[in-house]
Amino acid sequence: MEGMTSASSALGSPMRHDRLLSALAAWQLPVEGTEPLTGGLNSTTWLVRAPGGVRYVAKLADTADAAAFAGGLRVAARAGRRGLAGGAPVALPDGRLAAELPEGVLALLEYVPGTVPDAGSPHDLRRLGAVLGRAHRLLADAVDDLPERLRWPWPWASARLREVPMPPHVRRAAAQVLDEAREATPLLRLGVVHGDPRLDGFRLSGGSSALDGLVGWDAVLHAPLLYDVACVAVLTRDTPRALRHVLDGYRTVDPAIVRDLDHLDLFVRLRWAVTAIHVAGRIARGALRGVSGSPEDNEAGLARAYAGMRG
Protein backbone atom coordinates (compact mmCIF):
# COMPACT_ATOMS: atom_id res chain seq x y z
CA MET A 1 0.00 0.00 0.00
CA GLU A 2 2.86 2.37 0.73
CA GLY A 3 5.31 1.03 -1.86
CA MET A 4 6.79 -2.29 -2.77
CA THR A 5 8.90 -2.87 0.32
CA SER A 6 7.20 -1.17 3.25
CA ALA A 7 3.85 -0.65 4.90
CA SER A 8 2.30 1.22 7.79
CA SER A 9 2.94 0.13 11.34
CA ALA A 10 0.51 0.76 14.16
CA LEU A 11 1.16 4.49 14.00
CA GLY A 12 2.04 4.83 10.34
CA SER A 13 5.83 4.27 10.47
CA PRO A 14 7.14 1.90 7.79
CA MET A 15 7.73 -1.81 8.35
CA ARG A 16 10.88 -2.74 6.47
CA HIS A 17 10.81 -5.60 4.00
CA ASP A 18 13.54 -7.47 5.87
CA ARG A 19 11.55 -7.10 9.08
CA LEU A 20 8.49 -8.63 7.39
CA LEU A 21 10.53 -11.58 6.15
CA SER A 22 12.00 -12.05 9.62
CA ALA A 23 8.50 -12.07 11.16
CA LEU A 24 7.21 -14.55 8.58
CA ALA A 25 10.02 -16.95 9.51
CA ALA A 26 8.04 -17.78 12.66
CA TRP A 27 5.70 -19.88 10.49
CA GLN A 28 8.63 -22.05 9.39
CA LEU A 29 7.50 -21.95 5.76
CA PRO A 30 9.76 -21.17 2.80
CA VAL A 31 9.17 -17.70 1.33
CA GLU A 32 10.36 -16.65 -2.12
CA GLY A 33 9.09 -13.07 -1.99
CA THR A 34 6.39 -10.64 -0.95
CA GLU A 35 4.55 -7.72 -2.53
CA PRO A 36 2.02 -5.31 -1.01
CA LEU A 37 -1.69 -5.58 -1.74
CA THR A 38 -4.09 -2.67 -1.91
CA GLY A 39 -7.23 -2.27 0.17
CA GLY A 40 -7.93 -2.75 3.85
CA LEU A 41 -9.35 -0.16 6.20
CA ASN A 42 -7.60 -1.22 9.42
CA SER A 43 -4.76 -3.44 8.21
CA THR A 44 -1.91 -3.75 5.75
CA THR A 45 -1.55 -6.84 3.55
CA TRP A 46 1.08 -8.50 1.42
CA LEU A 47 0.98 -11.34 -1.07
CA VAL A 48 3.48 -13.97 0.05
CA ARG A 49 4.95 -16.28 -2.58
CA ALA A 50 6.25 -19.72 -1.64
CA PRO A 51 7.93 -22.40 -3.79
CA GLY A 52 5.79 -24.32 -6.24
CA GLY A 53 3.44 -21.43 -6.92
CA VAL A 54 1.92 -21.58 -3.43
CA ARG A 55 0.60 -18.22 -2.22
CA TYR A 56 -0.47 -16.80 1.11
CA VAL A 57 -1.57 -13.40 2.38
CA ALA A 58 0.21 -11.74 5.31
CA LYS A 59 -1.92 -9.26 7.22
CA LEU A 60 -0.71 -6.76 9.81
CA ALA A 61 -3.30 -5.14 12.09
CA ASP A 62 -2.87 -2.38 14.64
CA THR A 63 -2.20 -3.57 18.18
CA ALA A 64 -5.23 -1.55 19.31
CA ASP A 65 -7.39 -3.76 17.07
CA ALA A 66 -5.87 -7.06 18.24
CA ALA A 67 -8.97 -8.49 19.96
CA ALA A 68 -11.22 -7.85 16.97
CA PHE A 69 -8.51 -9.15 14.63
CA ALA A 70 -8.26 -12.39 16.62
CA GLY A 71 -12.03 -12.83 16.51
CA GLY A 72 -11.96 -12.40 12.75
CA LEU A 73 -9.25 -15.04 12.43
CA ARG A 74 -11.35 -17.52 14.41
CA VAL A 75 -14.40 -16.78 12.25
CA ALA A 76 -12.39 -17.17 9.04
CA ALA A 77 -11.08 -20.50 10.29
CA ARG A 78 -14.63 -21.66 11.04
CA ALA A 79 -15.80 -20.51 7.59
CA GLY A 80 -13.05 -22.57 5.99
CA ARG A 81 -13.99 -25.68 7.95
CA ARG A 82 -17.57 -25.27 6.71
CA GLY A 83 -16.70 -24.92 3.07
CA LEU A 84 -16.56 -21.15 2.53
CA ALA A 85 -13.31 -19.79 1.16
CA GLY A 86 -12.65 -17.07 3.71
CA GLY A 87 -8.88 -16.74 3.89
CA ALA A 88 -8.46 -18.96 6.93
CA PRO A 89 -5.39 -18.33 9.11
CA VAL A 90 -2.36 -20.59 8.90
CA ALA A 91 -1.48 -21.51 12.47
CA LEU A 92 2.00 -20.97 13.86
CA PRO A 93 3.85 -24.14 14.96
CA ASP A 94 2.70 -23.53 18.55
CA GLY A 95 -0.95 -23.25 17.45
CA ARG A 96 -1.36 -19.48 17.69
CA LEU A 97 -3.22 -17.81 14.84
CA ALA A 98 -1.15 -14.59 14.89
CA ALA A 99 2.18 -13.22 16.06
CA GLU A 100 2.47 -10.11 18.23
CA LEU A 101 5.10 -7.70 16.93
CA PRO A 102 6.22 -4.18 17.84
CA GLU A 103 4.57 -3.06 14.59
CA GLY A 104 1.23 -4.74 15.29
CA VAL A 105 -0.33 -8.19 15.05
CA LEU A 106 0.65 -10.34 12.05
CA ALA A 107 -1.30 -13.29 10.62
CA LEU A 108 -0.61 -15.52 7.64
CA LEU A 109 -3.76 -16.41 5.71
CA GLU A 110 -4.68 -18.90 3.04
CA TYR A 111 -4.79 -17.27 -0.38
CA VAL A 112 -8.24 -17.33 -2.00
CA PRO A 113 -8.07 -17.22 -5.82
CA GLY A 114 -10.72 -15.59 -7.97
CA THR A 115 -11.72 -12.26 -9.45
CA VAL A 116 -13.17 -9.23 -7.69
CA PRO A 117 -16.82 -8.58 -8.69
CA ASP A 118 -17.42 -5.90 -11.29
CA ALA A 119 -19.72 -3.27 -9.79
CA GLY A 120 -21.25 -2.75 -13.22
CA SER A 121 -22.09 -6.44 -13.77
CA PRO A 122 -25.51 -7.59 -12.52
CA HIS A 123 -24.28 -11.20 -12.77
CA ASP A 124 -21.27 -10.52 -10.55
CA LEU A 125 -23.36 -8.60 -8.04
CA ARG A 126 -25.88 -11.41 -7.77
CA ARG A 127 -23.04 -13.84 -7.07
CA LEU A 128 -21.72 -11.40 -4.45
CA GLY A 129 -25.11 -11.34 -2.76
CA ALA A 130 -25.30 -15.13 -2.76
CA VAL A 131 -21.86 -15.38 -1.14
CA LEU A 132 -22.88 -12.92 1.57
CA GLY A 133 -26.10 -14.83 2.27
CA ARG A 134 -24.17 -18.10 2.39
CA ALA A 135 -21.63 -16.64 4.81
CA HIS A 136 -24.43 -15.48 7.12
CA ARG A 137 -26.04 -18.93 7.03
CA LEU A 138 -22.80 -20.87 7.65
CA LEU A 139 -21.66 -18.62 10.50
CA ALA A 140 -24.97 -18.23 12.29
CA ASP A 141 -23.61 -19.92 15.42
CA ALA A 142 -20.11 -18.40 15.33
CA VAL A 143 -20.88 -15.76 17.94
CA ASP A 144 -18.76 -17.68 20.48
CA ASP A 145 -15.70 -16.85 18.36
CA LEU A 146 -16.14 -13.17 19.18
CA PRO A 147 -15.32 -11.30 22.38
CA GLU A 148 -18.34 -10.15 24.36
CA ARG A 149 -17.79 -6.50 23.54
CA LEU A 150 -18.23 -7.17 19.79
CA ARG A 151 -21.61 -8.83 20.27
CA TRP A 152 -24.85 -6.96 19.77
CA PRO A 153 -25.86 -4.50 21.17
CA TRP A 154 -22.19 -3.61 20.79
CA PRO A 155 -20.64 -2.62 24.12
CA TRP A 156 -17.57 -1.63 22.08
CA ALA A 157 -19.51 1.15 20.35
CA SER A 158 -20.77 2.62 23.61
CA ALA A 159 -17.25 2.52 25.05
CA ARG A 160 -15.76 4.22 21.99
CA LEU A 161 -18.40 6.95 22.09
CA ARG A 162 -17.46 7.64 25.71
CA GLU A 163 -13.69 7.46 25.32
CA VAL A 164 -12.63 8.49 21.81
CA PRO A 165 -12.16 12.24 21.24
CA MET A 166 -14.50 13.47 18.51
CA PRO A 167 -16.50 16.61 17.77
CA PRO A 168 -19.61 16.80 19.99
CA HIS A 169 -22.00 16.94 17.03
CA VAL A 170 -20.49 13.74 15.61
CA ARG A 171 -20.73 12.00 19.00
CA ARG A 172 -24.38 13.00 19.41
CA ALA A 173 -25.33 11.85 15.93
CA ALA A 174 -23.60 8.47 16.34
CA ALA A 175 -25.17 7.88 19.76
CA GLN A 176 -28.63 8.64 18.40
CA VAL A 177 -28.24 6.25 15.46
CA LEU A 178 -26.93 3.50 17.74
CA ASP A 179 -29.90 3.93 20.08
CA GLU A 180 -32.36 3.75 17.18
CA ALA A 181 -30.74 0.58 15.82
CA ARG A 182 -30.85 -1.07 19.23
CA GLU A 183 -34.54 -0.22 19.56
CA ALA A 184 -35.23 -1.95 16.22
CA THR A 185 -33.51 -5.19 17.32
CA PRO A 186 -36.68 -7.17 18.25
CA LEU A 187 -37.80 -6.90 14.62
CA LEU A 188 -34.56 -8.17 13.10
CA ARG A 189 -32.55 -11.39 12.85
CA LEU A 190 -29.11 -11.47 14.45
CA GLY A 191 -25.97 -13.29 13.38
CA VAL A 192 -22.26 -12.97 12.70
CA VAL A 193 -21.63 -10.35 10.02
CA HIS A 194 -18.50 -9.61 8.01
CA GLY A 195 -18.59 -5.95 9.02
CA ASP A 196 -16.81 -4.53 5.97
CA PRO A 197 -18.01 -6.42 2.84
CA ARG A 198 -16.22 -4.36 0.20
CA LEU A 199 -16.22 -5.57 -3.39
CA ASP A 200 -12.50 -6.32 -3.19
CA GLY A 201 -13.18 -8.72 -0.32
CA PHE A 202 -15.20 -11.05 -2.55
CA ARG A 203 -13.58 -13.64 -4.80
CA LEU A 204 -15.59 -15.06 -7.71
CA SER A 205 -14.31 -18.41 -8.86
CA GLY A 206 -13.66 -19.10 -12.52
CA GLY A 207 -15.31 -22.46 -11.98
CA SER A 208 -18.34 -23.19 -9.84
CA SER A 209 -20.01 -20.37 -7.93
CA ALA A 210 -19.91 -22.76 -4.95
CA LEU A 211 -16.19 -21.91 -4.77
CA ASP A 212 -16.78 -18.15 -4.49
CA GLY A 213 -15.28 -16.67 -1.34
CA LEU A 214 -15.26 -13.72 1.04
CA VAL A 215 -12.02 -12.64 2.74
CA GLY A 216 -10.96 -9.91 5.18
CA TRP A 217 -12.78 -10.83 8.40
CA ASP A 218 -10.92 -8.40 10.68
CA ALA A 219 -14.02 -6.18 11.08
CA VAL A 220 -16.32 -9.08 12.02
CA LEU A 221 -19.18 -8.38 14.45
CA HIS A 222 -22.32 -9.92 15.90
CA ALA A 223 -25.24 -7.78 14.72
CA PRO A 224 -28.49 -7.77 12.79
CA LEU A 225 -27.77 -9.43 9.44
CA LEU A 226 -29.09 -6.29 7.81
CA TYR A 227 -25.91 -4.49 8.87
CA ASP A 228 -23.85 -6.20 6.15
CA VAL A 229 -26.50 -5.38 3.56
CA ALA A 230 -26.35 -1.74 4.68
CA CYS A 231 -22.56 -1.84 4.33
CA VAL A 232 -22.93 -3.00 0.74
CA ALA A 233 -25.48 -0.24 0.13
CA VAL A 234 -22.96 2.36 1.35
CA LEU A 235 -20.01 0.87 -0.50
CA THR A 236 -21.90 0.65 -3.83
CA ARG A 237 -23.80 3.92 -3.45
CA ASP A 238 -22.23 5.39 -6.60
CA THR A 239 -23.37 2.46 -8.77
CA PRO A 240 -27.06 2.69 -9.78
CA ARG A 241 -29.14 -0.42 -9.05
CA ALA A 242 -26.13 -2.30 -7.61
CA LEU A 243 -27.88 -3.08 -4.34
CA ARG A 244 -30.93 -4.45 -6.16
CA HIS A 245 -28.76 -7.05 -7.92
CA VAL A 246 -26.95 -7.91 -4.67
CA LEU A 247 -30.29 -8.50 -2.96
CA ASP A 248 -31.45 -10.67 -5.86
CA GLY A 249 -28.50 -12.95 -5.18
CA TYR A 250 -28.89 -12.85 -1.41
CA ARG A 251 -32.53 -13.91 -1.69
CA THR A 252 -31.53 -17.11 -3.49
CA VAL A 253 -29.92 -18.20 -0.22
CA ASP A 254 -32.12 -16.40 2.32
CA PRO A 255 -35.47 -15.11 1.03
CA ALA A 256 -36.35 -13.87 4.52
CA ILE A 257 -34.01 -10.90 4.14
CA VAL A 258 -36.89 -8.99 2.53
CA ARG A 259 -38.56 -8.76 5.95
CA ASP A 260 -35.60 -6.80 7.30
CA LEU A 261 -35.36 -4.25 4.51
CA ASP A 262 -37.87 -1.82 6.03
CA HIS A 263 -35.00 -0.84 8.36
CA LEU A 264 -32.33 -0.54 5.68
CA ASP A 265 -32.09 3.26 5.84
CA LEU A 266 -31.52 3.12 9.59
CA PHE A 267 -28.72 0.59 9.21
CA VAL A 268 -27.12 2.60 6.43
CA ARG A 269 -26.92 5.41 8.98
CA LEU A 270 -25.50 2.93 11.49
CA ARG A 271 -22.78 1.99 9.02
CA TRP A 272 -21.84 5.65 8.80
CA ALA A 273 -21.85 5.87 12.61
CA VAL A 274 -19.40 2.96 12.80
CA THR A 275 -17.23 4.67 10.20
CA ALA A 276 -17.25 7.86 12.28
CA ILE A 277 -16.17 5.96 15.40
CA HIS A 278 -13.33 4.21 13.61
CA VAL A 279 -12.09 7.33 11.84
CA ALA A 280 -12.20 9.37 15.06
CA GLY A 281 -10.16 6.64 16.71
CA ARG A 282 -7.56 6.76 13.95
CA ILE A 283 -7.35 10.53 14.27
CA ALA A 284 -6.87 10.25 18.03
CA ARG A 285 -4.10 7.64 17.65
CA GLY A 286 -2.44 9.34 14.71
CA ALA A 287 -2.92 6.10 12.78
CA LEU A 288 -2.75 6.32 8.99
CA ARG A 289 -3.15 2.66 8.07
CA GLY A 290 -5.74 2.11 5.40
CA VAL A 291 -5.69 5.68 4.08
CA SER A 292 -3.35 7.46 1.69
CA GLY A 293 -1.14 8.70 4.50
CA SER A 294 -2.58 12.18 4.91
CA PRO A 295 -4.27 13.30 8.16
CA GLU A 296 -6.59 15.39 5.99
CA ASP A 297 -8.01 12.16 4.56
CA ASN A 298 -9.11 11.11 8.03
CA GLU A 299 -10.73 14.50 8.65
CA ALA A 300 -12.55 14.31 5.31
CA GLY A 301 -13.68 10.77 6.16
CA LEU A 302 -15.14 11.96 9.45
CA ALA A 303 -17.07 14.70 7.66
CA ARG A 304 -18.46 12.18 5.16
CA ALA A 305 -19.50 9.89 7.97
CA TYR A 306 -21.35 12.68 9.75
CA ALA A 307 -23.17 13.57 6.55
CA GLY A 308 -24.13 9.92 6.14
CA MET A 309 -25.51 9.70 9.67
CA ARG A 310 -27.64 12.74 8.87
CA GLY A 311 -29.07 10.87 5.92
Give me the residue spans of the domains in the chain: 17-110, 122-309
Chain segment 56-101, per-residue pLDDT in tens: 999 999 888 899 899 999 999 999 999 999 999 999 999 999 999 9
Distance CA 200, CA 170 (A): 29
- From CA 305, how far away is CA 268, in angstroms rounded? 11
41 band by pLDDT with thresholds 50, 70 and 90: low
pLDDT given at position 252: 98
**Predicted local confidence at residue 296, as pLDDT:** 83
Residue 293 clears pLDDT 80, i.e. is over it: no
| pLDDT, mean of residues 221-228 | 98
Q: Mutual orientation of helices 155-163 and 168-183 as an angle, nearest 10°?
A: 160
Residue 164 CB partners (closer than 8 Å, separation 6+): 277, 280, 281, 284
Nearest residue to 157 via CA among 178, 186, 185: 178
Residue 288: pLDDT band with limits 50, 70, 90: low
pLDDT given at position 42: 65
pTM of the model: 0.91
Element (H, E) at 299: helix 295-309
Average pLDDT of the residues in 255-260? 97
Lowest mean pLDDT among 34-48, 197-211, 227-241, 277-291: 277-291
The Cα angle at residue 118 between residues 115 and 124, in degrees rounded to 5: 80
- Predicted confidence at residue 40, as pLDDT, reads 57
pLDDT band of residue 6 (cuts 50, 70, 90) is very low
**pLDDT value of residue 17:** 86
Kindly report the average pLDDT of the chain as a whole number: 91
- CA angle, 279 then 161 then 11, to 5°: 35
Is residue 8 over pLDDT 60?
A: no
Topology of domain 122-309 in CATH is: Aminoglycoside 3'-phosphotransferase; Chain: A, domain 2 (3.90.1200)
Q: Is the pLDDT of residue 182 over 80?
A: yes
Domain over 17-110 is classified CATH 3.40.50.970: no
Q: In the prediction, which pLDDT does 39 show?
A: 58
Digit-coded pLDDT (tens) for 118-144: 999 999 999 999 999 999 999 999 999
Measuring CA to CA, which residue among 73, 119, 68, 63 is closest to residue 96?
73
Q: What percent of the chain has pLDDT over 70?
A: 92
